[in-house]
């Protein structure tokens, strides 16, 4: 509207004595500028608010999928890659909100400009209306290759971020085995691939922008040329010429916006596809519709064959504390995967309260059966927040801390349970992390608790204390411990020896040490 109002003011200025009309149009021009400023300030604020909310919603969608009890993501994507998708890709995909608003404004401006030019000169208006669709179509075709290139660029960047995250989290292990150079070399290759992908994408985007500017510039030059010829021929007034030239210069903005929107949309679409791929990843475990209103803790394996297990059968009574000795770590790992619903048995059945585990509602199964993995992570922040989901009372917290020897850890920290720990609990020793993770598992207080090597990083005295504490802390709860620790085995109601994927012997720890050479060899 600014070139139109300015043209009207100029036309009035060259008409002798029409000062009131000139003042009127100058006032209109001032109002237009005030309205433009107001519209930009609040319109842009609304668009940015939509973008931020969309980005937030996308992050929540990815986060909910990552922490969904059905799992299924860990095998296909590294944590760093998921973090990149939940942050960078979420923001990139959400940018389409501002893109839509800006493009809507650009299209509206082009239509209004075309109407004005039709009033000034039908020829100019028709030129705009006829030239706009082909240019936008060509730009759209030129932008198609950008989507695939942007997708590859972001995939390589996410892969590099994932490797970097894993490298930093496992730095101590790498140093321990002298593999720092190998780890750095692996990241170097990933980072180089990401850099090369970014350079190739930048070249393509630069070529696209150059072609877009060339097309837009050529079209605007044509509009200016036609308008100038009409003014020279006297078919339009001086004010109309000023309006036409001003509109031609103004049209660079909306045309450029539409030209760049193809590249921006390609990036946003590539990010959206990566988010959609995460959300569409099949769950590792699917639950049924069976509910467990009052689970007692009965668990059984009936002829399970899966992984290294062969026709494995075992029944655990409610309230029983059973230790499973599996000299071959793959047997223990397979049991953990089946109980954690990370995998389904190829044949046979895993029963919880007499119902097949896959048939039980997933949330109900997670509440009734908790698997505490060997490498459980400690969350950054106040130590107390690691038990926050269950918020045990002060008395229960003290009881849990004593049972797991976590009271020694808390007592050694300057602020006790309120002390801050670093990411993954790296400010704690391995034994301290194990005790806090064990305390968290006891705080959950599930009817069935499965512990996988919970004391491998603590000394023998602490281990004996934890063994006695576990037995006291869960007197009427089912506890299954996958371990070779003599202290935990001695505290168990029953010990089961698994060899070649089958139950080879079972009984009390003391009994098996006298009757089973294989058992004695297994526990060292």
| Candidate from 126-130, 371-375, 464-468 with smallest mean pLDDT | 126-130
Given pLDDT bands bounded at 50, 70 and 90, which one contains residue 286?
A: confident
The reply to whether 262 and 355 lie within a common domain is: no
Amino acid 195: pLDDT:
84
Q: Is residue 43 part of a domain?
A: yes
Question: Who has greater pLDDT, 405 or 238?
Answer: 405
pLDDT at 5 over 80: yes
CATH code of the domain in which 176 resides: 1.20.1560.10
Q: Is residue 45 part of a domain?
A: yes
Q: Is residue 292 part of a domain?
A: no
Q: Is residue 287 part of a domain?
A: no
CB atoms within 10 A of CB 498: 25
When mean pLDDT is compared over 113-127, 194-208, 349-363, the highest value belongs to 349-363
Q: How many domains does the chain have?
A: 2
Amino acid 483: pLDDT:
95
* Mean per-residue pLDDT of the chain: 85
3-state secondary structure of 86: helix
What order of strands is seen across the sheet that includes strand 369-372? 369-372, 448-452, 478-482, 321-325, 494-499, 502-507
Find the angle CA(401)-CA(404)-CA(410) to the nearest 5 degrees.
45
Please state the φ and ψ torsions of residue 331, each to the nearest 5 degrees.
-65, -45
The reply to whether 311 and 270 lie within a common domain is: no
In 341-496, alpha helices (H): 362-368, 394-404, 406-412, 430-444, 460-473, 486-491
Which residues span the domain enclosing 100?
A: 2-279
Tokens at residue 153, please?
Answer: 């660029």
CATH code of the domain in which 400 resides: 3.40.50.300
The reply to whether 189 and 307 lie within a common domain is: no
Amino acid 148: pLDDT:
67
> Is-contact 472 283, C-beta < 8 A?
no
> What percent of the chain stands above pLDDT 90?
39
Q: Of 226, 249, 279, which closes a domain?
A: 279
The reply to whether 453 and 351 lie within a common domain is: yes
Which long-range contacts link 414-423 to residues 24+ away (Cβ below 8 Å)? 416/383, 417/382, 417/383, 417/384, 418/382, 418/383, 418/384, 419/382, 419/383, 420/380, 420/381, 420/382, 420/383, 421/378, 421/380, 421/381, 421/382, 421/383, 422/380, 423/380
Give the gyration radius of the chain's Cα atoms: 35
CA-based nearest residue to 262, from 218, 199, 197, 209: 209
The reply to whether 342 and 207 lie within a common domain is: no
pLDDT at 173 over 60: no
Run of H or E including 420: strand 420-421
The reply to whether 214 and 340 lie within a common domain is: no
The reply to whether 232 and 338 lie within a common domain is: no
For 440, what's the count of Cα atoms within 13 Å in the CB-facing half-sphere? Answer: 23
Q: Is residue 58 part of a domain?
A: yes
> Is-contact 96 268, C-beta < 8 A?
yes
């Amino acid at each position: 509207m600014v070139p139109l109002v300015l043209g009207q003011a100029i036309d009035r200025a060259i008409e002798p004595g029409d000062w009131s009309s000139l003042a009127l149009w100058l006032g209109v021009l001032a109002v237009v500028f005030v309205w433009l400023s107001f519209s930009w300030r609040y319109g842009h604020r609304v668009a940015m608010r939509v973008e931020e909310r969309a980005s937030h919603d996308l992050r929540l969608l990815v986060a909910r999928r990552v922490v969904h009890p059905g799992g299924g993501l860990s095998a296909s994507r590294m944590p760093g890659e998921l973090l990149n998708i939940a942050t960078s890709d979420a923001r990139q995909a959400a940018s389409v909100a501002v893109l839509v608003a800006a493009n809507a404004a650009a299209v509206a401006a082009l239509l209004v400009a075309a109407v004005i030019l039709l009033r000034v000169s039908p020829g100019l208006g028709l030129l705009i209306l006829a030239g706009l669709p082909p240019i936008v179509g060509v730009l759209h075709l030129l932008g198609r290759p950008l989507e695939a290139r942007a997708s590859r660029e972001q995939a390589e960047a996410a892969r590099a971020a994932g490797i970097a995250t894993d490298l930093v989290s496992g730095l101590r292990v790498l140093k321990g085995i002298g593999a720092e150079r190998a780890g750095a070399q692996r990241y170097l290759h990933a980072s180089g691939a990401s850099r090369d992908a970014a350079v190739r994408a930048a070249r393509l985007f630069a070529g696209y922008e150059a072609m877009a500017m060339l097309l837009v510039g050529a079209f605007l030059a044509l509009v200016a040329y036609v308008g100038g010829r009409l003014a020279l021929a006297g078919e339009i007034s001086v004010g109309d010429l000023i309006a036409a030239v001003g509109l031609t210069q103004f049209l660079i903005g909306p045309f450029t916006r539409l030209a760049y929107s193809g590249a921006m949309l390609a990036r946003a679409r590539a990010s959206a596809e990566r988010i959609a791929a995460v959300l569409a990843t099949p769950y590792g475990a699917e639950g049924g519709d069976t509910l467990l209103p009052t689970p007692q803790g009965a668990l059984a394996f009936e002829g399970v064959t899966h992984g290294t297990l062969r026709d494995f059968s075992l029944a655990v009574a409610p309230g029983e504390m059973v230790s499973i000795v599996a000299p071959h770590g793959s047997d223990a790992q397979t049991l953990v995967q089946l109980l954690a619903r990370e995998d389904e048995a190829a044949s046979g059945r895993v029963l919880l309260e007499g119902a097949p585990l896959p048939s039980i509602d997933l949330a109900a199964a997670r509440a009734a059966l908790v698997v505490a993995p060997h490498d459980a992570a400690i969350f950054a922040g106040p130590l107390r927040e690691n038990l926050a989901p269950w918020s045990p009372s002060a008395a229960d917290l003290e009881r849990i801390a004593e049972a797991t020897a976590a009271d020694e850890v808390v007592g050694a920290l300057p602020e006790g349970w309120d002390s801050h720990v670093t990411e993954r609990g790296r400010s704690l020793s391995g034994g301290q992390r194990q005790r806090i993770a064990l305390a968290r598992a006891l705080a959950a207080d599930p009817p069935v608790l499965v512990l996988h090597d919970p004391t491998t990083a603590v000394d023998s005295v602490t281990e004996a204390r934890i063994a006695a504490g576990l037995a006291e802390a869960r007197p009427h709860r089912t506890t299954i411990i996958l371990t070779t620790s003599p202290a935990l085995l001695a505290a168990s109601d029953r010990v089961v020896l698994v060899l070649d994927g089958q139950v080879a012997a079972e009984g009390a720890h003391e009994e098996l040490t006298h009757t089973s050479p294989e058992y004695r060899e297994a526990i060292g």
